[in-house]
């Protein structure tokens, strides 16, 4: 199930990037789509993969541990950000508030991408697929979120 959730997240990221760019220059519509798909839905799905399916998720990442506390913390952080993003979308918060939530998630994921990069270097990772999935995809996704958030903030 963790793999299925990972695939769904990848597809949602791709869809949100496409739709976010497609609706430009209407930055309010772009931020709404990104907030809902790339932050709310992905944040909530990430909670399920990190907490409910933590064993399969750790195995998928190559980070198996007898103590999944770190996964629960990551899952709860994703859930908190995802739920606030969903609330902001449903209640129609202003573009600055929505952009701030997108920026928070982008910075959070950028830090995770740095951690994944450090782990790959320390472990002399040579599995190109694993590096792509854990490092490059996290850098690209976080960069996308940060770009759109900053663009929206500057545009208002």
User: Cα separation of 112 and 117, whole Å?
Assistant: 9
Specify the pLDDT at position 63: 67
- Predicted TM-score (pTM) of this structure: 0.89
Q: How many domains does the chain have?
A: 1
Cis peptide before 25 (omega within 30 of 0): yes
User: Cα separation of 104 and 146, whole Å?
Assistant: 8
pLDDT tens over the chain, length 156 residues: 767 777 888 899 899 999 999 999 999 999 999 999 999 999 999 999 888 887 776 676 666 667 777 888 999 999 999 999 999 999 999 999 999 999 999 999 999 889 888 877 887 767 666 676 667 888 999 999 999 999 999 998
Domain that holds residue 148: 2-61+69-155
User: For residue 61, which of 135, 124, 114 has the smallest C-alpha distance?
Assistant: 135
* Structure tokens that stand for 148 in this block: 């759109």
């Amino acid at each position: 199930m963790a793999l299925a959730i990972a695939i769904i997240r990848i597809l949602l990221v791709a869809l949100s990037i496409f739709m976010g760019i497609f609706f430009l220059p209407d930055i309010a519509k772009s931020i709404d789509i990104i907030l809902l798909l790339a932050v709310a839905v992905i944040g909530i799905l990430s909670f399920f993969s990190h907490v409910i399916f933590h064993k399969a998720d750790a195995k998928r990442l190559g980070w198996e541990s007898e103590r999944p506390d770190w996964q629960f913390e990551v899952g709860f952080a994703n859930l908190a950000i995802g739920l606030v993003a969903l609330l902001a979308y449903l209640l129609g918060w202003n573009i600055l508030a929505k952009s701030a939530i997108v920026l928070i998630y982008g910075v959070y994921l950028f830090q995770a991408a740095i951690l994944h990069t450090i782990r790959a270097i320390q472990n002399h990772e040579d599995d190109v697929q694993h590096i792509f999935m854990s490092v490059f995809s996290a850098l690209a996704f976080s960069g996308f979120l940060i770009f759109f958030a900053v663009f929206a903030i500057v545009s208002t």
